[in-house]
């Protein structure tokens, strides 16, 4: 029987949250688009998640962190780290944008990690070993695949966020092991968009089957455990069925193998083992042992044990809820367009310049990042943005007589709406409308992820962090909040 550690100063995972894009592409639609060149291909089943045009590793990271970190707890965070293999910028720290959206303290440590499929596990392991105050770690990824490749069917998108600390720990690190090597299952050159993969049999037989079991054995030895004591085994791979083979080589029972999340998420790159870890945490009981593997130019293995607190923890949004919140799509060209896999002719309307004034963006960061409005102390009017004087009828109090009011987590409803097919928009039509917040604020906002049912006055809405627009000439994406229906 497994014992439960009860150390008063244990450092470990204190919470988690996830995000999977609502948009899911039918794999059969992908296969059908390429059947003219590959008629012998077997029918493709299920769906895979893909990012909308205004989603990327930064926006997914914000949404995952929001579900893991209540707004009231954000002031105590001391560090933020994010892992991804598809950073939004080559030289602009993504975690700074994430921290602004979450309204985290300005004096926290921020760091971006990447350049390997095991960056998610490596980063989480480094944070746990550091045991340095209350922290947030996020793995967010959406690997891009070449059209007609096997990866196009298996890839997906998603993000997992973990809060770390000493209080109410739900899972603690009890063992670990890391190795590096130059086994290249794939690579992507700095100027390339897609990965280049080596032969699958080589990856399975020489990579997974030999490197992972040795690293797992060493990690279990450091935890003073036997393979028979492991309850959950997390191994992420884009190669279907490889997890069962690796589990057998490691000596794990078949029932320990974690859910691969092939359907309806797909392989989410560096974020995938972290998503699978969340799935294990949602299912495990106190005292159970979880082994997590990160593979890529080496191997990182974490051995974790769930505590009594795991039964009581309830995330803002769990993995099952994220997977169920889906909008199934059959337009393959839509997915290609959103991932810039095809260049469409949008006409002269798309040539409108959208250069961002970086100086004004800096001055207004306190309002724009986390969508912070203000409440007038005289008349109680809530408004966004904060202006020199209150807009309340007959008030006109100066801004000095107001207090900040965050709006991103305030429930809202649709007051008016319209669908614009004339203005340029990467996902036509452009849905806009007045949004009425429960605290009295009212804003004209863009509304995204509108399903086949459309919009209706009074529909419940929530705020979501997205790309507002892209300055194509300079390659700069500007981020802001949009409204989206609560139900898919």
- Compute the average pLDDT of residues 219-241: 96
CA–CA separation, 142 and 272 (whole Å): 10
Question: Which pairing describes strands 23-26 and 327-329: parallel, antiparallel, or unpaired?
Answer: parallel
- Compute the average pLDDT of residues 469-487: 94
Question: Whats the size of the chain, residue-wise?
Answer: 488
3-state secondary structure of 189: coil
- Compute the average pLDDT of residues 73-82: 95
Mean pLDDT of the chain: 94
Q: What is the pLDDT of residue 280?
A: 96
pLDDT for 418-436, tens place per residue? 999 999 999 999 999 999 9
What Rg value do the Cα atoms of the chain yield, rounded? 23
CA–CA separation, 57 and 1 (whole Å): 41
- Compute the average pLDDT of residues 400-422: 95
158 φψ region: left (φ > 0), alpha (ψ -120 to 50), beta (else): left
DSSP 421-433: SSS--SSSSEEEE
Q: What is the pLDDT of residue 38?
A: 83
Q: What are phi and psi of 332, to 5 degrees?
A: -60, -40
CA-angle at 106, arms to 102 and 108, nearest 5°: 90
C-beta neighbour count of 392 within 10 angstroms: 16
Beta bridge partners of 47: 26
Beta bridge partners of 114: 84
pLDDT classification of 43: cutoffs 50, 70, 90 = confident
Q: 156 or 472, which is more confident?
A: 156
Which of 264-278, 296-310, 356-370 is least confident?
A: 356-370
Question: Which domains, ranges and CATH numbers included, belong to the chain?
Answer: 12-338 (3.40.47.10), 407-485 (2.40.50)
Beta bridge partners of 26: 47
Q: What is the pLDDT of residue 403?
A: 95
Q: What is the pLDDT of residue 350?
A: 87
pLDDT for 233-261, tens place per residue? 999 999 988 999 999 999 999 999 988 99
Q: Is the pTM of this model over 0.85?
A: yes
pLDDT classification of 41: cutoffs 50, 70, 90 = confident
- Compute the average pLDDT of residues 199-219: 95
What is the separation of C-alpha 306 from the centre of its chain, rounded to a whole number of angstroms?
Answer: 23
Q: What is the pLDDT of residue 12?
A: 97
| Residue 108 near residue 78, CB atoms below 8 Å | yes
Q: What is the pLDDT of residue 39?
A: 81
């Amino acid at each position: 029987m497994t014992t439960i550690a009860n150390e008063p100063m244990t450092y470990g995972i204190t919470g988690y949250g996830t995000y999977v894009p609502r948009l899911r592409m039918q794999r059969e639609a992908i296969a059908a688009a390429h059947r003219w060149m590959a008629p012998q291909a077997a029918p493709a089943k299920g769906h895979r998640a893909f990012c909308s045009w205004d989603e990327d590793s930064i926006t997914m990271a914000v949404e995952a962190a929001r579900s893991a970190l209540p707004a009231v707890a954000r002031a105590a965070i001391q560090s933020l780290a994010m892992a991804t293999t598809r950073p939004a910028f080559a030289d602009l720290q993504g975690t700074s944008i994430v921290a602004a959206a979450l309204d985290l303290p300005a004096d926290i440590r921020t760091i971006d990690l990447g350049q390997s499929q095991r960056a998610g596990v490596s980063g989480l392991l480094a944070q746990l070993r550091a045991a340095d105050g209350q922290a947030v770690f996020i793995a967010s990824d959406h690997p891009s695949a070449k059209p007609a490749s096997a990866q196009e069917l298996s890839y997906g998108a998603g993000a997992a966020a973990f809060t770390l600390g000493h209080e109410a720990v739900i899972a603690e690190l009890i063992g670990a092991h890391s190795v590096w090597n130059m086994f290249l299952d794939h690579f992507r050159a700095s100027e390339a968009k897609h990965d280049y993969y080596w032969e699958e049999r080589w990856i399975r037989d020489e990579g997974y089957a030999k490197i992972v079991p040795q690293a797992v054995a060493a990690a279990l030895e450091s935890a003073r455990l036997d393979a028979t004591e492991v309850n959950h085994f997390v191994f992420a791979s884009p190669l279907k069925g490889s997890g069962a083979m690796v589990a057998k080589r490691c000596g794990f029972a078949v029932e320990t193998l974690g859910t691969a999340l092939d359907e309806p998420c797909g392989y989410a790159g560096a974020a995938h083992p972290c998503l699978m870890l969340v799935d294990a945490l949602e299912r495990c009981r106190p005292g159970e042992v979880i082994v997590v593997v990160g593979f890529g130019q080496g191997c990182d293995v974490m051995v974790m044990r769930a505590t009594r607190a795991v039964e009581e923890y309830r995330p803002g949004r769990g993995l099952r809820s994220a997977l169920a919140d889906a909008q199934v799509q059959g337009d393959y060209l839509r997915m290609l367009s959103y991932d810039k896999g095809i260049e469409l002719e949008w006409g002269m309307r798309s040539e409108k310049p959208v250069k961002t004034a970086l100086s004004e963006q800096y001055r207004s960061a306190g309002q724009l990042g986390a969508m912070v409005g203000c409440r007038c102390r005289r008349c109680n009017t809530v408004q966004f943005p904060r202006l020199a004087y209150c807009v309340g009828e007959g008030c006109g109090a100066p801004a000095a007589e107001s207090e900040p009011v965050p709006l991103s987590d305030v429930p809202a409803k649709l007051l008016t709406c319209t669908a614009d097919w004339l203005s340029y928009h990467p996902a036509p039509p452009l849905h806009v409308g007045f949004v009425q917040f429960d605290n009295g604020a009212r804003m004209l906002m863009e509304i995204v992820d509108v399903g086949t049912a459309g919009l209706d006055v009074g529909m419940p809405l929530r705020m979501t962090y997205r790309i507002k627009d892209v300055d194509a000439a300079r390659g700069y994406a500007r981020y802001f909040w949009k409204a989206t229906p609560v139900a898919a």
